[in-house]
Amino acid sequence: MKRLMSGNEAIARGAFEAGVTVGAGYPGTPSTEILENLVKYKPDVYCEWSPNEKVAFEVAAGAALSGARSIVTMKHVGLNVAADPLMTLSYISVEGGFVACVADDPGMHSSQNEQDTRNYARFAKVPIFEPSDSQEAKDFLILAMQVSEQFKTPAILRTTTRVSHSRSLVEIGERASPGKSVGFTKNPSRFVPIPIWGRPMRVRIEERLKSLQKLSESSPVNRIQWRDRNLGIISSSIAYQYAREVWPDASFLKLGMSYPFPDALIREFASGVSSLLVVEELDDFIEEHVKALGISCRGRDVVSGIMELSVDRLRSSKAMLEGRDAAEPKPSPFSEGLPPRPPVLCPGCPHRGVFYALGKEKVVVTGDIGCYSLGAFPPLNRMDSILCMGAGISMAHGMEKAGEPQKVVGVVGDSTFFHSGITGLLDIAYNHGHSTIIVLDNRTTAMTGHQDHPGTGRTLMGEATLAIKIEDIGRACGISRVNAINPYNLEETRQVISQEIATNEPSLIVSRAPCPLRERKKVGEVRKILAEECKGCELCLGLGCPAIENNEGGPRINETLCAGCGLCQQVCPAEAIVCGVRA
Amino acid sequence: MSETRSAKADAYENEAETETKSIVLVGVGGQGILLASEILAQAAMLEGYDVKTNEVHGMAQRGGSVMAQIRYGKDVKSPLVARNGAHILGSLEKVEALRFSDYIRPEGLAVVSTQAIMPVTVSTNAASYPTDADAEDRLRRAFPRLVYIDATRIAADLGDIRAANIVILGAISNDLDLPPAAWEKAISLSVKEKFLEANRRAFAAGRDYR
């Protein structure tokens, strides 16, 4: 039976069919739906959202050491957080199969950078698999699991946004038995990498790489397709699909297992074609190796490594390769001068009140990763830096210690706080900092589609659990000034923020209101603007609320969009904004 | 393992490529683009076609411009539609139709909702929204084959304003070689029971729109 599945659904299906019993991860676009789909196979599979990727990785690693088959899921930058356990799990090896499913985001659709996960495979000396559609996503997860278990190595399954979020047809199979029974067997020389045992492990992983290379050279997922021999193309992942469309007649070496590199296959292919081209997204990972083998090829000189590829961009590459003008397609004249439509904080978003209040303060705001990144846009303009998860807190402390003359406020979300904000807060208390830290607690991991976290009182398995309080953690970290505010009350929000910025002690403010998008209900009564009372000062527009339109004839509230948060009513000096759309 | 292809296979492949239908659906986050995309893809799958779709998640969904792409045929490679490659452009918002107008083929069909959704850039006076007359003039020039339809009003009259996406889908269906039974089944597979009747009516209204 065939079903239409996204790449992420197919990976989850593959994990189910492969006999996986433990799945852990942290949400991150474009990887989130893998675990959301895997949990549908409970109770056959235990799934959890861990506080961060490092923890998730270690949870899955522990399961694998006990002999269970496990996966861990994350986006590309999540693997930076989990890099520490990755590098040494490669040494201590696994007993049950272990696959890290990592989704890259070429084009930065929903990410702060464009790093290429394939580099981690070489770095950690582990095999990596790159599906190019949903069927391969399922098949390669199963293959990666087999390879992991056979060679006792962690494996990486790398997708990209277009593989994870494209849907295509998948043949459904049966679930395999979960394999060996779970039970840890003590073996310190294998699992304890203190130097006396770690050094032999270092040698063993090089031997393992050689065996894996033989597999890479013989595996059907690395295959030559002979067509016209004038041009041969080496490609992997979604780039392969684009390239097949642009060069339908060329010969291809399609890499499904791209590391360790299949040297013998690359040599055979190169010697069978007149000219060689490497088509890959992001880094010149394959091309560099082909050149290191002493084989000349084209690649980065005609195929850009910046932003995602497409059929259009490869058509330009083809023109350049053939010595023709690579005319970029001209934008349509009909789209000139259209108003841009960037993503914005939703109507009724509880973050808006805090950013509006921060706009009244002369401070530096070190921000973080989440919906509230949108607070950086006009008209709020109230986020001055974003680095990575948790950095909103630690960078505030660093600026302060450097002698930054302005006061610094760190802003972080609830899920992000649990992810990697706690250690930063601990640092502020420990090292005599006095930054003001605001946790924007909307009771969910909103940007990725409303996943639970340690503060929500629910697990991914759907069970009730204890809801960890951010205030309690703050106090336990040694912060004595802890305030909770309602961000829909603008006066209270402004007053508490001003007061806490002014103190010379570390301070934690928890701004708490649930995300209305998750609650699926209005915050309060829909508001309207009384045109006869409106003085046209446009202060309400400073909130950047998508429900307040200002086309012709002054501001008006779109009643379908309005979430009834009432912030506009609080900023209107003319009292022209009132409750109730109709009597 | 290597595979050798015959000339016949090549010919088949090229023929298949030219037969791939490409549809682009655009609008604003939250308008129901993904549901419309799902129904279209299901209908094509039920007819035995190879199908690939692509959609946007995450950051871009927060009130920004969104696009879903659907391609079906004998053997579909890229899930993304190339510029000037779409047979059909469906748009739930008029400015978004113009924004993505270079996706459509010169002879392609554009089904565009008359709905206007103001971006925040307009309310903050950073940009301006075209007047109704200017928008319609541009749409008529951009799309020689234009169905300009008040899908929101039609859906509202049928009792569910949120079914405007399905009205657009119904109008699109006239230009696709998928039989009514496939659409009917695809809608019933993708829509919750309690919204089924409203969506069926919305689809029929779009299909009958002239």
Enclosing domain of residue A480: 351-519
CB contact at 8 A, A76 and A103 = yes
Q: How far is CA A580 from CA A526, A528, A563, in A?
A: 6, 7, 12
The residue of chain A nearest to residue B120, with distances taken between CA atoms, is A546
Q: A226-263 in b/e burial notation, b at 16+ Cβ within 10 A?
A: bbeeebbbbbbbbbbbbbbbbbeebbbbbbbbbbbbbb
**pLDDT recorded at residue B18:** 55
Q: What is the C-alpha to C-alpha distance for residues A53 and A25, in angstroms, rounded to an integer?
A: 6
- Provide CB contacts within 8 A for A520, sequence distance 6+: none
Query: Do residues A364 and A440 both lie within one domain?
Result: yes
A341 interfacial to chain B (CB closer than 8 Å): yes
**C-alpha distance from A147 to closest chain B C-alpha (Å):** 18
**pLDDT recorded at residue A299:** 98
Q: Per-residue confidence at B12, pLDDT binned at 50, 70, 90?
A: very low
Query: Do residues A310 and A364 both lie within one domain?
Result: no
- Provide CB contacts within 8 A for A344, sequence distance 6+: A374, A377, A544, A546, B62, B63, B64, B120
What are B63's strand-pairing partners?
none
For residue A100, is it within any domain? yes
For residue A170, is it within any domain? yes
**pLDDT recorded at residue B57:** 66
**pLDDT recorded at residue B58:** 58
Query: Do residues A310 and A245 both lie within one domain?
Result: yes
ipTM: 0.92
Query: Do residues A68 and A165 both lie within one domain?
Result: yes
Q: Which of A334, A386, A537, A545 to mutate to test the interface with B (most CBs of B within 10 A)?
A: A334
Question: What CATH code is carried by the domain that includes residue A545?
Answer: 3.30.70.20
Residue that terminates a domain, selected from A475, A491, A519: A519
For residue A343, is it within any domain? no
Mean pLDDT confidence for B86-109: 96
CB within 8 Å: A550 and B125: yes
Could you tell me the maximum CA-CA distance found in chain B, to the nearest angstrom? 61
The residue of chain A nearest to residue B27, with distances taken between CA atoms, is A341
CB contact at 8 A, A193 and A165 = no
A448 interfacial to chain B (CB closer than 8 Å): yes
Q: Which amino acid is at B133?
A: A
Q: Which of B24, B55, B78 to mutate to test the interface with A (most CBs of A within 10 A)?
A: B78
- In total, the C-beta contacts within 8 angstroms joining chain A to chain B are 192
CB contact at 8 A, A127 and A209 = no
CB contact at 8 A, A494 and A357 = yes
A529 interfacial to chain B (CB closer than 8 Å): no
**pLDDT recorded at residue B22:** 98
Mean pLDDT across chain B: 89
Query: Do residues A393 and A495 both lie within one domain?
Result: yes
For residue A341, is it within any domain? no
Query: Do residues A280 and A356 both lie within one domain?
Result: no
Q: What is the C-alpha to C-alpha distance for residues A97 and A373, in angstroms, rounded to an integer?
A: 37
Q: What is the C-alpha to C-alpha distance for residues B65 and A173, in angstroms, rounded to an integer?
A: 37
**pLDDT recorded at residue A125:** 98
CB contact at 8 A, A32 and A23 = no
**C-alpha distance from B120 to closest chain A C-alpha (Å):** 5
Q: Which of A9, A338, A380, A539 to mutate to test the interface with B (most CBs of B within 10 A)?
A: A338
For residue A334, is it within any domain? no
Residue that terminates a domain, selected from A218, A235, A257: A218
For residue A86, is it within any domain? yes
pTM: 0.95
Q: Which residues on B lie below 8 Å from A555 (Cβ)?
A: 123
Query: Do residues A357 and A316 both lie within one domain?
Result: no
For residue A547, is it within any domain? yes
Query: Do residues A32 and A164 both lie within one domain?
Result: yes
Q: Which residues on B lie below 8 Å from A216 (Cβ)?
A: none
Q: Per-residue confidence at B7, pLDDT binned at 50, 70, 90?
A: very low
| Residue of B50, B78, B99 lying closest to A245 (CB–CB) | B78
CB within 8 Å: B121 and A342: yes
Reading the block at residue A214, the tokens are 């033989």
- In the block, residue with structure tokens 């009564």: A525
The domain total for chain A is 4
Q: Which residues on B lie below 8 Å from A166 (Cβ)?
A: 52-54, 79
Q: Which residues on A lie below 8 Å from B61 (Cβ)?
A: 343
Q: Which fold has domain B8-208?
A: Pyruvate-ferredoxin Oxidoreductase; domain 3 (3.40.920)
Alpha helices in A278-367 (DSSP H): 285-292, 311-321, 351-358
Q: Which residues on B lie below 8 Å from A249 (Cβ)?
A: 10
**C-alpha distance from A471 to closest chain B C-alpha (Å):** 28
Reading the block at residue A18, the tokens are 């492969």
| Residue of A4, A342, A541 lying closest to B123 (CB–CB) | A541
Query: Do residues A196 and A310 both lie within one domain?
Result: no
For residue A331, is it within any domain? no
Residues 374-393 of A with CB under 8 A from B: 374, 378-379
CB within 8 Å: A242 and B142: no
Query: Do residues A232 and A261 both lie within one domain?
Result: yes
Query: Do residues A487 and A367 both lie within one domain?
Result: yes
A327 interfacial to chain B (CB closer than 8 Å): no
**pLDDT recorded at residue A583:** 37
Q: Which residues on B lie below 8 Å from A27 (Cβ)?
A: none
Q: Which residues on A lie below 8 Å from B130 (Cβ)?
A: 338
Query: Do residues A448 and A533 both lie within one domain?
Result: no
At A251, give phi and psi (nearest 5°): -80, 150
**pLDDT recorded at residue B184:** 97
**pLDDT recorded at residue A327:** 72
Q: Which residues on B lie below 8 Å from A10 (Cβ)?
A: none
Q: pLDDT tens per residue, chain A (583 residues)?
A: 899 999 999 999 999 999 999 999 999 999 999 999 999 999 999 999 999 999 999 999 999 999 999 999 999 999 999 999 999 999 999 999 999 999 999 999 999 999 999 999 999 999 999 999 999 999 999 999 999 999 999 999 999 999 999 999 999 999 998 877 899 999 999 999 999 999 999 999 999 999 999 999 999 999 999 999 999 999 999 999 999 999 999 999 999 999 999 999 999 999 999 999 999 999 999 999 999 999 999 999 999 999 999 999 999 999 999 999 877 667 788 988 999 998 889 999 999 999 999 999 999 999 999 999 999 998 999 999 999 999 999 999 999 999 999 999 999 999 999 999 999 999 999 999 999 999 999 999 999 999 999 999 999 999 999 999 999 999 999 999 999 999 999 999 999 999 999 999 999 999 999 999 899 899 999 999 999 999 999 999 999 999 998 877 789 999 888 999 999 999 999 999 999 855 3
B8 interfacial to chain A (CB closer than 8 Å): no
Q: What is the C-alpha to C-alpha distance for residues B137 and B155, in angstroms, rounded to an integer?
A: 25
Peptide bond into A506 cis (omega under 30): no
**pLDDT recorded at residue A185:** 96
Question: What CATH code is carried by the domain that includes residue A508?
Answer: 3.40.50.970
A244 interfacial to chain B (CB closer than 8 Å): yes
**pLDDT recorded at residue B210:** 79
Residue that terminates a domain, selected from A218, A238, A263: A218
B119 interfacial to chain A (CB closer than 8 Å): yes
A340 interfacial to chain B (CB closer than 8 Å): yes
